[in-house]
Every structure is written in C-alpha cells, then in structure tokens.
Structure 1
Amino acid sequence: MKKKILAFYLSLFFSSTFPVVTQAAVFNASADVSVAPAISQDALQKLPWHPIVPPASETFKITAANPQINQGDIQGSVAAFTLPADRGSLEITLSSLVNDRSVFAPSVLVLDEQMRPAAFYPSSYFPYERAGVMSGDRLEGTIKLTPSLGQKQIYLLVYTTRQDLAATTKLLDPAKAYAMGVGNAVPDIPDPIAQHGTTGELHLKVRSEQNMGSVMIGLPVTSSNAPAPVVVGSNTPTAATTSAPVTKAPAEPVLSDTEAYFNNGIKQAVKAGDIDKALKLMNEAEKLGSTTARKTFISSVKGKG
C-alpha cells in the first residue's frame, strides 16, 4: 500500500502539470499585499511594537489610549506586535471578542524585518465564530507565516477600517444556540447585532514550529479553506523602501547551511511517510536557490520505496 502511495506521488511529481506553485497562489490569495492599505514608514517606525515570544497566549485591550493611525481607510486605534523570525514557521490565531454587542473588526498587515508589507489579511479573513463552552462570540482567523532566513523579527499590525466601522456582525442568539446544542426546535427569534467599534479586546495565540514537534516549512493543504503558510521576507536583497540599512549577508555560507537544513528535513519527512511535507520543503528550498533539494527528494523517495 505504501509503495502505491509513493508511486502516486512520484507520478504527480514528474508530471509537467504538478500544481505546487498554482496551489500556493490560490491559497495565499487572502495575503495579497497589492490591495493592502499604504502606511507611511514614519507612522510605522513611531509605533510602540509589543514583543510576542511563542508559545504565547495573551489578551490585549484596544482603547482610545492605544497608538492611532488615521491614513487612508485605516481609522483609529491599532495594536502592533513583533514576532521572532528565527524560530521557523509561526501559527497565529487572532480572536476579537464580542463585548456588550460591540466588536473590533480586525484587519492584519504583516511586515518583514525592513517593515515592508509581506502579507495582508482583511477583516473578511476573521469571520464570526459563535460562543462555545470555553469561548464567547468572536471574530477569529488563523494565520500561518514562514519568515525567510536571515531575519531577526517580523511585524504584525492590527487595525480596523472606515468600511468595517460602518458594518455590523450578526450574532447567534443564545436561545438558538442552546436549542441547536440539545437538539430542540430552533426558536424563530431575531439574532442580536454587534456594532463594529474603534475599541475592543483581542486574544492572540502564537505557536512556532519549535512547539509543533517537527521542522515544517508548510502544512499539507487538506481543503480549499485551509490557510497556507505565507513566506515573510526574501533572501534576495532588494532596494530598500525605508531609511533602514539593508545588510547583505555572505551568500555561500548561508546557502550551504540552508541546503543542509532543507535536505535533512526532506529526508526526515520521507522517512516518516509525509510526502506532502517533503515536496513542500523541496519547493521552498529551490525558491531559496538550492541545487540539491530535488535530488535529495528523489533519492529519498526511491530509497523509501
């Protein structure tokens, strides 16, 4: 059975229509920075960035005393966080809690170490989640990020927009939720409406790959709704858009370490039977300039078979 599965993956791999890159483009559509709002570098650099060190689970209040950005569509108080970029992939769950029928509708802009936009998640990425046994009504979404090598930190900016302030969120009435939970007839009553405000309460839960038990550059995509990891930053130096200097690291030592890192990850993934993960590692390594990742993948799979 395992040999049949390996043969299937190999046939996909050697096919010219293998959609690794196409899938990444589709699943990362929500992170398209081309539609992100423009924020001046001066405004970004003046923000007090709060450090989050994973594993972390923290709650933050957004009040009128928070830093303010009023540029373009961005309106009012914001929350600004820094995350380590040297701990591998990051899984970030952001929840905006509903209190007194009011909620902060979050949008998220991710920036690389040079404060250049790298990913954008509009408020539609954080849909309404009804109250559960251990949680209340909330807007919630999970982001998966993979910082590129050579960075020390990345940035996460949470804000709301003028359009979201003019909108509302329909909640599920507690009586309906109870009836659905116990299997009774759902009463025909109107659902409450939560107004979107400039203040609110956020809960941020962050895990790194060090806390996930394995080295992982991307997660296997199991459905069209699964969030794909977004690469933050680039190993290829580009013209800086900020006044911060960009230091170019020596290419050869970094490339050598990178190839060893990815090749070992590919071998381990194949050995564990996780071909999806091995393919993603190979694909990511080749993006970074690896010349041996493909050979490592092929030889590992043939050895596994």
Structure 2
Amino acid sequence: MDIEMKKYLTLLLSGMSLIGCASSDDLSLKQNILPLQTEVCCESASHFPWFRLQQNQDLDFELNASSPVNQFDGSKSYFSAFTFAQQSGLVEIRLRSLMLDGEVAIPQVELLDSEFNVVKTIDDAFTVKFSDAFAKNRYELTEKVDTVKTPYMIVYVKTSELGKKVVVPHPAKIRAQESGEPMPIVTDPTYLASNNGHFSLSVETITLSGYNQKSLVEAKPEEVAVVQKPAQPAIQAIPETQSYYHNAIRQAVESNNIDKALSLLDEAKALNIEGAQEVFVRAVNAK
C-alpha cells in the first residue's frame, strides 16, 4: 500500500471510532436500509454473477454490503446466485443460515429453469435448529432438486421478516428438558432478522444427468464470498464483473468495512480489473 493510501486510511479509521457511539438498534436499522439505497446489480437474472457449484461441495458464504443487490418480491435484497454442476441430475442441498452476534438472515430460495424463469420459491420450509455439534443456532433447509429442470438457484433474504425478533431456547433449558432436571432461570438468546447473514451450503449429487442434457450460463469469476480455497478464477474480466467490483469496493468503504474493501481490491487486481485501485482511493478520499 502506498503512502497516500495509508494517509487516507488513517484519516478514515480515525473517523470510524465515532461509530461506537451508535446503538446496536441504529446499526441494525442502517444495515437493513442499505440494500434499499443500492442500485440493482443486473438487468436480468441471466446477467447475475453466477457461482458454479461442483457435483459434491461444502462451502460457507455471506450476504452483506459487498454482495450484489436485486429486486425480489417487490423489495431489494442482497443475494448469491448458484448454478449446479452440468453433470448433476438429482441433488440434495442443505442450506443453513447461522444465528450469530445477535442477528440472523431469514432466507428465501428461488429455483430457476434454463430460461431463468422462477419455477419454485422456498421459504416456509426452513426450520429452526438449535446449536449442536454440527452448527450454531440456525435456520436450516434440506431439499432435493432436479437440476435438469431447475439448474439455477438464488439465495436471498426474506425482506418481509426484517426486524423480527427470533427467540430460541437457552441451551441449559434444552438440556434440562432432555434430562428431566429442574428448568434453570436463564435468558433465551434473541436474534434480530437482518439483511446480513452467514450461510453454509452443502450439495450432494444423487444421480447424474445425461451428456449435454443440461446447458448452463457461461461460468463467470467466482463472486460469492466463499470461505474456502476457491478455484483459480478466469483472468479475463468482463464489463459486468468490472462494474460489480467497482460498486462493491465503494459500498464497502462507505459502510466503513475497510478490510472487505481491501479484500475486494486484491481480488480485482488478481482478475486484472481496470480502475479498481482508483475507485478505492476515490471512495476513501470521499469519506
């Protein structure tokens, strides 16, 4: 990082210290409103930043201010878009939305056909699962998907639930119920329904599709915030990808998420996306 950029970051981080004075409710309200103030990423679903899944895969990802935004059910939401493996037929997916830091994204899923028409919307099928050896408190969905009929999947937030309080039993109460012991006097964890969320997705291929039975949109650089070692992205950047990274870097700086902005900047450089550093510097300077 050059001297000029360090100077801007120092000034910006000094200003960020004032944010600690804001209440958690204020910050939650701000993050829930943010997608409404953000332009949609794409003209149509065919232009979404699709992430190509493998036949069998486990991955973690987030929906936050660095995610693309689009209109769903009359309201804007962050989203992640996935395309199933070309040779997968019937697959079983397990999607979890984790309850962390007093917040949770109540998820909604759309399954699309090869022409990007919504075939099925999944929302009420999610159930609340309590913390166990596999994951923390979460919303969880297990679903079988015929990927020949619906090769595309979109995960976004159920905006009608924003601000809702989700209360789950304290682990001590669950243990007492299971063991028959007296019920302890403890406070149940409460989570606020948010536009931001931490997700895990598991895909298992059960049957294979026939050769060339399923055609998919051309793979684009992996633009989902996946918490695992990603495959080597394509070097050639397309205009949509350039626009996505420029907007994501600006939004990360504007929301004072400098670590995310720098991470996006590194990704953009790796993809040979022109103008990414200039966008970052201008965004910091504007702060």
CA RMSD of aligned residues (A): 2.8
Q: Secondary structure at the match of 2:60?
A: strand
Deviations 1:104-123 (A, max 9, x none): 1100000011111111102x
Q: Secondary structure at the match of 2:75?
A: coil
8 Å CA contact 2:41–2:70 kept in 1: the answer is: no
Counterpart in the other structure of 1:97? 98
Q: In the alignment, does 2:200 pair up with 1:203?
A: yes
Deviations 1:54-79 (A, max 9, x none): 21110001110100013543332111
Counterpart in the other structure of 2:273? none
Higher relative contact order (CA 8 A, sep 6+): 2
Cα separation, partners in 2 of 1:174 and 1:74, compared to 1, 3 Å: same
Q: In the alignment, does 2:184 pair up with 1:187?
A: yes
State how far apart, in whole Å, the 1-side matches of 2:110 and 2:62 are: 19
Q: Where do 4+ consecutive residues of structure 1 move more than 6 Å?
A: none
Deviations 1:198-222 (A, max 9, x none): 1111100001114xxxx89xxxxxx
Unaligned runs of 5+ in 1: 1-38, 217-233, 236-305
Deviations 1:260-293 (A, max 9, x none): xxxxxxxxxxxxxxxxxxxxxxxxxxxxxxxxxx
Counterpart in the other structure of 2:147? 147
Counterpart in the other structure of 1:137? 137
Task: Name the aligned partner's letter for residue 64 of structure 2.
Answer: T
Q: Secondary structure at the match of 1:45?
A: helix
Alpha-carbon distance, 1:92 to partner: 0.5
Q: Secondary structure at the match of 2:84?
A: strand
Task: Name the aligned partner's letter for residue 136 of structure 1.
Answer: K
Alignment of 1:148-167 (within 5 A): 148=148, 154-167=151-164
Alpha-carbon distance, 1:183 to partner: 3.7
**TM-score, normalised by the number of residues in structure 2:** 0.54
Q: Secondary structure at the match of 1:135?
A: coil
Alpha-carbon distance, 1:85 to partner: 4.7
Counterpart in the other structure of 2:125? 125
Alignment of 1:219-298 (within 5 A): none
Deviations 1:18-37 (A, max 9, x none): xxxxxxxxxxxxxxxxxxxx
Alpha-carbon distance, 1:181 to partner: 4.4
8 Å CA contact 1:52–1:83 kept in 2: the answer is: yes
Count of matched residue positions in the alignment of Structure 1 and Structure 2: 172
8 Å CA contact 2:41–2:68 kept in 1: the answer is: no
- Structure showing greater Rg: 1
8 Å CA contact 1:73–1:161 kept in 2: the answer is: no
Q: In the alignment, does 2:194 pair up with 1:175?
A: no
**TM-score, normalised by the number of residues in structure 1:** 0.51
Q: Secondary structure at the match of 2:69?
A: coil
Identity over aligned pairs, percent = 23
Q: Secondary structure at the match of 2:45?
A: helix
Q: Secondary structure at the match of 2:70?
A: coil
Task: Name the aligned partner's letter for residue 135 of structure 2.
Answer: S
Alpha-carbon distance, 1:97 to partner: 0.6
Alpha-carbon distance, 1:86 to partner: 3.2
Unaligned runs of 5+ in 2: 1-39, 215-287
Counterpart in the other structure of 1:4? none
State how far apart, in whole Å, the 2-side matches of 1:40 and 1:48 are: 9
Cα separation, partners in 2 of 1:180 and 1:76, compared to 1, 3 Å: same
Alpha-carbon distance, 1:154 to partner: 1.1
